[in-house]
Amino acid sequence: MMAQYLEIKADHPDALLFYRMGDFYEMFFDDAVAAAEALDIALTKRGKHQGTDIPMCGVPVHSAESYLLTLIRKGFRVAVCEQMEDPAEAKKRGSKAVVRREVVRLVTPGTLTEESLLEARRHNYLAAFVEIRGEGGLAWCDISTGALRVMACPFVRLGPELARLSPREVLVPEGAELALPEEVVTEHNRLAFDSEAARGRVERFFDVASLDAFGQFSRAEVAAMGALIDYLDLTQKGRLPLLRPPVQESEAQTVRIDAATRRNLELSQALAGGRAGSLLAVIDRTVTAGGGRLLERRLGAPSRRIEVVTGRLDAVSDLVADELLRVDLREALRRAPDLDRALSRLALDRGGPRDLAAVRTGLEVAARIEARMGSELSAGLLEARRNLCGLSGLREMLDAALVAEPPLLARDGGFVAAGHLAELDEAQALRDEGRSVVAGMQVEFAEATGIGSLKVKHNNVLGYFIEVTATHAEKMLSPPLSETFIHRQTTANAVRFTTVELSSLETKILNAGARAIELEKEVFAELRQQVIAKAAEVGQVARALAEVDLAAALADLAVGENWVRPVLDEGRAFTVKGGRHPVVEAALKGAGEPFVANDCDLTAHRLQLLTGPNMAGKSTFLRQNALIAILAQMGSYVPARKAEIGLVSQIFSRVGASDDLARGRSTFMVEMVETAAILNQADDRALVILDEIGRGTATYDGLSIAWATLEHLHDVNRCRAIFATHYHELTALAAELAEAENLTVAVKEWQGDVVFLHEVRKGAADRSYGVQVAKLAGLPEAVVARARAVLERLEEGERGKDRRVLIDDLPLFSVPSAPAPTAHSEVEAFLQDVNPDEMTAREALDLIYELKGRLGE
């Protein structure tokens, strides 16, 4: 056995080998040591190899999925090695023969299909990238849903695209020196990326004479697709998934959003990590897994094609207007299973009866929704309705063959409905009602012999037998009964017989359970083939359900949150009235506080310079307008009273401060790298939001960088931009740059404190109120007082152009004086003389009125 293990392990040196031994997957040697630590399970030993103990650990087969998930998340790959024959067959070759085993699957992060290993509302992408003669190609697929897409992708665009897709695994040629995160990179055989061989591989996979039927692909695109299919063939051991024909994407079709911008805007993941707090989490009202995945795709890649966006908005508008239809569709969709993933598991022969039941239920839901939708709908919903039609024959066949609630695994049996197969019904009756059948036969034998005490019994030696007392032995052994009843055994007190009929029944009863399972497996295989034969049509139904779900979810969001349909055109307008930040608004609503809406007009002045104190809402204003543009172009209503947007080609965001120490980048360097990317790439249709450019270095250095950046955006990039800053000197540029305008966030001072109004108005701020914000943050009063004193001297020095005042009046290392005691107000002084313990109720009430009068004065 160990010789067999080592031979198989040699073929998979980079993976943990799950070696099947009965009801366990066992691991040995270094695999066992690594797995025991990763899974926190016991490490034991078994036998010796070259004089040393063999480390060993194992996991039960029935719960292996949970262990696989842990290993995959910790970066391991797992080769699953199954027993390919029954141990009884192996014994026929000799008592020491080893059961034949083979690796049936290589489990990697990008090739998962099990429901328990996947996030229902997220794609699990496997990607491949290759460069051929300076030309890049990126292909990606999700084998759990069948999606396959490809695009021309120069290396400079790879980072943003991977940020959009978030693939679990990226295939690159062996030895390729690409700056990609190590945790997702998998090096694959260079020969798999050969474009000519890849073309033939892809054509054979889709059974077409030429790939031209799907589009015109570059050599790099074909090579990337071919590498994907080669890797799937390797990991699935020849059992290839159902992939839909490749869809070619173009950079010109979607809004370009780089990785930094996605992170800053928290589109699908919050800065703190996780989905909670992201835009996706706030707007996701889909009720199906397919709808949730479609929403994430749309949010990650808003469209730049006006006809596409308009069609999506029309579908949402239909369901905003028809509340009854929207409610009915969402109620029906709640029953819809994940058709795509059920179909994928069936195609890979990893499915079970519940996957067949999922197909049945999905088709039932589709038929109900198709019947409920009328003909007075937009083109998008009408197309979805057409794709929901048909497949009634498959649905009826599955409904007739399956029980209402089938088990998870086919090997458990009990999923075929009664009446579907007569032979199966008979086997199940024998299995489940064997005792009653034997009891009935006992009655028949007693009547035929006239022996009332006759019994039919069973033991492990004789099986089923007929037993009578010794007093009736002579009668049973004499004709005519001896012709029917065959003598088996005589004991001191009884005589035992059998009959041909009883022996036959015994064989049937003993084999009935196994035969029933065998027949059910045959039924499962037949139903599986019927479903796979209709895979393309079932996939269409799944996509149509997702489209309807997303339109209904966005309509429900628009009605529930009072969002408005945006007006989009090919121009360069950007006017938002009463815009709101959806994530911040949701958080404030949960706390019972209102959100202050603000207007934004980049039409008259395409560059706006925003000043104001920290905590006043500048970053919220910046982000909310970028999010409104993204929501509009993904085909959603937006959080505003009115929105008119000329299509945006790119969205860039430089907000917040962070470092990248692992790559040797300080906070300021990260800021400059991201700013450089914006200035080098933004075109005149881009939307740019910038916050605090130049704040990570010395004041005059930062001011000069911010100044030059602002001029470059205005004169060279000529894009729509909002530029937030604390450099008040920059506000003078609004008078010099023709298409620039000053905005400020309003605040109000009261008794030395600052009140944030969160209103964006025209004009410029005169200061940043940093000391007041520091006080709100909880800095000690002594520090705040000292900061005020330093600020006053600095401002005096600035006005007088004499910095010596700092040295004379504010030595850096002097001990700050204690804060001056705060003078008591008139009301506080009045209350000093009040003794509440000695007051009557009437006197207390009079006191309250007197206090009210003093406060009024």
Find the mean pLDDT for residues 664-679: 83
| DSSP string for residues in 431-496 | HHHHHHHHHHHHHHHHHHHT-TT-EEEEETTTEEEEEEEGGGHHHHHSTTGGGTSEEEEE-SSEEE
Sequence-ordered list of residues with C-beta below 8 angstroms from that of 69, at least 6 positions apart, any chain: 116, 117
Find the mean pLDDT for residues 580-604: 94
- pTM across the whole model: 0.85
Which position has the higher pLDDT, 827 or 3? 3
Find the mean pLDDT for residues 324-335: 97
- List the single range of 14-28, 439-453, 528-542, 784-798 with lowest mean pLDDT: 784-798
Find the mean pLDDT for residues 328-339: 97
Tokens of 166: 């978030």
pLDDT the model gives residue 428: 86
pLDDT the model gives residue 47: 85
pLDDT tens, position by position, 446-495: 999 999 999 999 887 888 899 999 889 888 988 898 889 999 988 888 99
pLDDT tens, position by position, 258-308: 999 999 999 999 988 889 999 999 999 999 999 999 999 999 999 999 999
Q: Does the N-terminal peptide bond of residue 821 adopt cis geometry, omega within 30 degrees of 0? A: no
Tokens of 44: 């034991």
Q: How far is CA 638 from the centre of its chain?
A: 23
CA dist., res. 727 & res. 611, Å (int): 8
- List the single range of 139-143, 465-469, 609-613, 820-824 with lowest mean pLDDT: 820-824
- List the single range of 16-20, 797-801, 847-851 with lowest mean pLDDT: 797-801
Q: Which fold has domain 422-522?
A: MutS, DNA mismatch repair protein; Chain A, domain 3 (1.10.1420)
CA dist., res. 624 & res. 139, Å (int): 33
pLDDT the model gives residue 560: 96
Q: Which fold has domain 567-774?
A: Rossmann fold (3.40.50)
Tokens of 549: 């779900």
Query: Where residue 664 falls among pLDDT bands split at 50, 70, 90?
Result: low
pLDDT tens, position by position, 347-382: 999 999 999 999 999 999 999 999 999 888 999 999
Which position has the higher pLDDT, 251 or 291? 291
pLDDT the model gives residue 331: 97
Find the mean pLDDT for residues 395-403: 96
Tell me the residue length of the chain.
857
Find the mean pLDDT for residues 206-217: 93
- Phi, psi for 124 (deg, rounded to 5): -120, 85
CA dist., res. 812 & res. 205, Å (int): 75
pLDDT the model gives residue 19: 97
Query: Where residue 813 falls among pLDDT bands split at 50, 70, 90?
Result: very low
Residue 233 and residue 224 in contact, taking contact as beta carbons nearer than 8 Å: no
Measured between alpha carbons, how far is residue 238 from residues 198, 230, 243, 565 in Å? 16, 10, 14, 49
**Which DSSP helix (H) or strand (E) runs through 368?**
helix 353-372
Residue 333 and residue 365 in contact, taking contact as beta carbons nearer than 8 Å: yes
pLDDT the model gives residue 812: 46
Sequence-ordered list of residues with C-beta below 8 angstroms from that of 234, at least 6 positions apart, any chain: 106
Which position has the higher pLDDT, 747 or 678? 678
**Sheet of strand 16-21: strand arrangement:** 44-49, 52-60, 24-28, 16-21, 78-83, 101-107
Residue 393 and residue 385 in contact, taking contact as beta carbons nearer than 8 Å: no
Tokens of 653: 């965001």
- Phi, psi for 201 (deg, rounded to 5): -65, -45
pLDDT the model gives residue 822: 55
Residue 569 and residue 646 in contact, taking contact as beta carbons nearer than 8 Å: yes
Architecture of domain 2-107: 3-Layer(aba) Sandwich (3.40)
Residue 229 and residue 240 in contact, taking contact as beta carbons nearer than 8 Å: yes
pLDDT tens, position by position, 620-662: 999 999 999 999 999 999 999 999 999 999 999 988 666 555 5
pLDDT the model gives residue 792: 78
pLDDT beyond 60 at 74: yes
CA dist., res. 857 & res. 703, Å (int): 47
Find the mean pLDDT for residues 146-169: 94
Find the mean pLDDT for residues 70-85: 94
Q: How far is CA 190 from the centre of its chain?
A: 31
Find the mean pLDDT for residues 111-120: 91
- List the single range of 97-111, 281-295, 320-334, 503-517 with lowest mean pLDDT: 503-517
pLDDT beyond 60 at 810: no
Find the mean pLDDT for residues 794-814: 53
pLDDT beyond 60 at 96: yes
Helices (H) and strands (E) in the chain, counts: 29, 27
Query: Where residue 821 falls among pLDDT bands split at 50, 70, 90?
Result: low
Q: Does the N-terminal peptide bond of residue 819 adopt cis geometry, omega within 30 degrees of 0? A: no
DSSP state of 663: G
pLDDT beyond 50 at 804: no
Look up the CATH number of domain 115-249. 3.30.420.110
Sequence-ordered list of residues with C-beta below 8 angstroms from that of 252, at least 6 positions apart, any chain: 304
What are the residue boundaries of the structural domains of the chain, listed by start? 2-107, 115-249, 309-391+534-554, 422-522, 567-774, 826-856
pLDDT mean across residues, the chain: 90
Sequence-ordered list of residues with C-beta below 8 angstroms from that of 530, at least 6 positions apart, any chain: 394, 397
pLDDT the model gives residue 805: 45
CA dist., res. 578 & res. 638, Å (int): 11
Q: What is the residue type of 18?
A: F
What SS3 state is found at 278? coil
pLDDT beyond 70 at 800: no
Find the mean pLDDT for residues 131-145: 95
CA dist., res. 444 & res. 452, Å (int): 11
What SS3 state is found at 691? strand
Using a pLDDT cut of 90, give the percent of the chain over it: 65
pLDDT the model gives residue 657: 61
pLDDT tens, position by position, 531-557: 999 999 999 999 999 999 999 999 999
pLDDT beyond 80 at 434: no
